[in-house]
Amino acid sequence: MLIAAPMAAAAVHTVKSPDGLTAVAVESDAAGKVTYAVTHGGNVMLQPSPLGLYTNIGDFADSMRIVSVDTSSVCRHYTQSRIKHSEATYEARIMRVAMENAAGDTIGVEFSVSAHDVAYRYRLPRVNGGETGAVTVYGEASGFALPAGSTAFVTPQSDAMTGWKRTKPSYEEVYAVDVPVGTPSQYGHGFTLPALFRTSGGGWVLVGETGVDSRYVGSRLSDADSAGVYRIAFPMAEENNGHGSVSAAMSLPAVTPWRTITVGTTLAPIVETTVAWDLVEPLYAPVAEVEPARNVWSWILWQDGSINLADQKAYVDFAAAMGYDNVLVDNWWDTNIGREGIEELVRYAARRGVGVMLWYSSSGWWNDIVQGPVNVMSRSIERKKAMKWMHDIGIKGIKVDFFGGDKQETMRLYEDILCDANEYGIAVIFHGCTMPRGWERMYPNYAGSEAVLASENMIFSQYFADNVEAVHATLHPFIRNSLGSMEYGGTFLNRRLNRGNDGGVQRRTTDAFQLATAVLFQNSVQNFALAPNNLTDAPQEAIDFMKRVPTEWDETRFVDGYPGRYAVVARRSGSRWYIAGVSAIDHPVTLHLDLPMAAKGDRLQVLRDADAAGTLERAELAVRNPADVKIVLQPKGGFIIEK
């Protein structure tokens, strides 16, 4: 369909999802502002919210006039490894709105609306009669106006060039949970994506972005203005030690990344969405497919002192005993083990059916990191030499840490590392980094990102174990881990988080909680925080579970929960379901789960807390009514149901 008739000034242009439930209404007012609003089943999800771009080829946010609207449909089915579902169908209605500014130049805004997801991006043509082929985007007017009385589940953007060796920002801040919309951010820099909102009407709205590559910046949300509108904000000037532009540069014609808005009257669409991957395509073919993997890493419990050949061989033996795929050798291996030592380790591991992954710093001139190797991943010349060496000796993957922020030149570094690593058949994990934005699909050798206050913080401070771990675990399935793989490095079975299991931070969550996170936290390459002593000092049922838990999933379903309190998610691998629950509530709660994957008469295998002290117990759950399966969640406890 093409509607090219001249538009009346105040016309409303509406596009609805194929099922008719989700609707976007685009409107321009007499003052020249163009807005979009989102409803789902008649419930207001976003009130009229601003659109537009500020660029060096013109202002496309003020004095705008809609000149044409056309609509079309898309339906595609795809398979995808390394995310929450192994296949997905994306069926959407598309509306392209052409807008003209006061100078007579046009841009387009393209909406793609599926059952529970709204996405939009801007299209910029060549201008000046086709003469102008480059644009700098200074910023976006793009906003998100939550209904008055809504609440936010958001994580603040940190100051730049602060924290460990001046490596922030790295998406490792503590969430503000269920706070009124408009609550100022902790550091005054707004919030990192994704951001979850509960509307005053009881709806859920998850705001994210996807399709960000070397041709744009990574965005965040501003603090809300006095009208409660959050805006897309570009990187801070101080990131990358103050070096590099905060604007985005593209060649024309161009499209921006997609802004995504997932909506629902329950949390199911939030947990189950594939919008981050529905709208992007692979940017290159994989030289070698990234295999799902279960790894162990000595650094998490044994720390820097374990980066020596003897300790790494002990972890190889441990990985072999678990039937795991790799050991990850963390920082300082270049000086403390050396390349010849790594080659010996790879041979030792290969004889035991275990692979080796290696840590690198991303830096570079953007922080003060001394942990080696440094100055390798930051430059193509050194990077390719290292990757050739790794390829020749059979290294499976790399973990690249401590990136400089979200400026376009850092997005280019992420892409360059991924693309170079692909040439050598190497999988890539990012740490100290930005959140992924469709990268599992765009970069076939991408294997996950940290971008979360991860397991290491439980080692660093009792505060996180006491106050943060359980609450955050109930947030991730609805926020950070909904829109991208999350390399958390968790599942501790040590009660004390040190090498001897006899000192350091005391774990406050139960064994069942820890096991549940192996399912709840999705990343196709998992670096579990298990230690060799767990073979003898952890409950046998826990070790047996960690030997059988998969890391690649065919399907993911929301079961129950409320972000910040508790979360229950079901994931399927082949024909087997794993239903994982965790709680941050300070008293036992009895849940009544609706488990459509179960049937009357089923006897489900359960790992749970026998008591509030967290004694791990294996039990059988006889299903009388699959729509009402009772299970008790203990404080900072959890469970796994298997079918």
Residues contributing to the site for Ca ion (CB under 5 A): 432
- The smaller minimum CB distance to Ca ion, of residues 78 and 187, is found at 187
SS3 assignment for 520-535: HCCCCEEEECCCCCHH
Name the nearest CA neighbour of 571 among 590, 585, 547, 551: 551
In the bound complex, what is the minimum distance in angstroms from residue 54's beta carbon to Ca ion?
A: 33
Tell me the torsion sign for CA atoms 237, 239, 245, 251: negative
In the bound complex, what is the minimum distance in angstroms from residue 432's beta carbon to Ca ion?
A: 5
In the bound complex, what is the minimum distance in angstroms from residue 518's beta carbon to Ca ion?
A: 19
Token look-up 């069926």 returns: 91
In the bound complex, what is the minimum distance in angstroms from residue 366's beta carbon to Ca ion?
A: 15
Name the nearest CA neighbour of 120 among 279, 281, 283, 254: 279
- Rounded Cα distance, 211 and 226, in Å: 30
- The smaller minimum CB distance to Ca ion, of residues 228 and 432, is found at 432
In the bound complex, what is the minimum distance in angstroms from residue 427's beta carbon to Ca ion?
A: 19
Helix axes 540-548, 309-322, angle to 10 degrees: 80
In the bound complex, what is the minimum distance in angstroms from residue 294's beta carbon to Ca ion?
A: 20
- The smaller minimum CB distance to Ca ion, of residues 48 and 432, is found at 432
* Alpha carbon of residue 509 to chain centroid: 23
Task: Fill in the DSSP letter of residue 239.
Answer: G
Q: In sequence order, which residues have a C-beta less than 8 Å from that of residue 589 and are 6 or more positions away?
A: 566, 583, 632, 633
In the bound complex, what is the minimum distance in angstroms from residue 526's beta carbon to Ca ion?
A: 16
- The smaller minimum CB distance to Ca ion, of residues 301 and 568, is found at 301
- The smaller minimum CB distance to Ca ion, of residues 236 and 451, is found at 451
- The smaller minimum CB distance to Ca ion, of residues 432 and 563, is found at 432
- The smaller minimum CB distance to Ca ion, of residues 432 and 539, is found at 432
| Shortest-Cβ-distance residue relative to Ca ion | 432
In the bound complex, what is the minimum distance in angstroms from residue 523's beta carbon to Ca ion?
A: 14
Strand 65-79 with 446-449, pairing: unpaired
In the bound complex, what is the minimum distance in angstroms from residue 450's beta carbon to Ca ion?
A: 5
**Hey, which residues does 73 pair with through a beta bridge?**
93
Name the nearest CA neighbour of 142 among 289, 36, 245: 36
- The smaller minimum CB distance to Ca ion, of residues 404 and 432, is found at 432
- The smaller minimum CB distance to Ca ion, of residues 234 and 359, is found at 359
Question: What kind and span of H or E run contains 466?
Answer: helix 462-467
Whole-Å CA distances, 569 to 402, 422, 519, 520, 552? 31, 32, 8, 7, 15
DSSP per-residue codes, 271-326 = HH--HHHHT---SS--SSPPPPEEEEETHHHH-GGG-SHHHHHHHHHHHHHHT-SE
- The smaller minimum CB distance to Ca ion, of residues 264 and 432, is found at 432
- The smaller minimum CB distance to Ca ion, of residues 432 and 436, is found at 432
In the bound complex, what is the minimum distance in angstroms from residue 167's beta carbon to Ca ion?
A: 8
Contacts 24+ apart (CB under 8 A), 498-504: 498/301, 498/459, 499/301, 499/302, 499/303, 499/305, 499/306, 499/531, 500/533, 501/531, 501/533, 501/537, 504/459
- The smaller minimum CB distance to Ca ion, of residues 48 and 218, is found at 218
In the bound complex, what is the minimum distance in angstroms from residue 468's beta carbon to Ca ion?
A: 14
Tokens of 145: 């106006």
Name the nearest CA neighbour of 38 among 146, 141, 140, 110: 146
In the bound complex, what is the minimum distance in angstroms from residue 164's beta carbon to Ca ion?
A: 8
Q: In sequence order, which residues have a C-beta less than 8 Å from that of residue 196 and are 6 or more positions away?
A: 152, 153, 154, 204, 205, 206, 207, 270, 475, 478, 479, 563
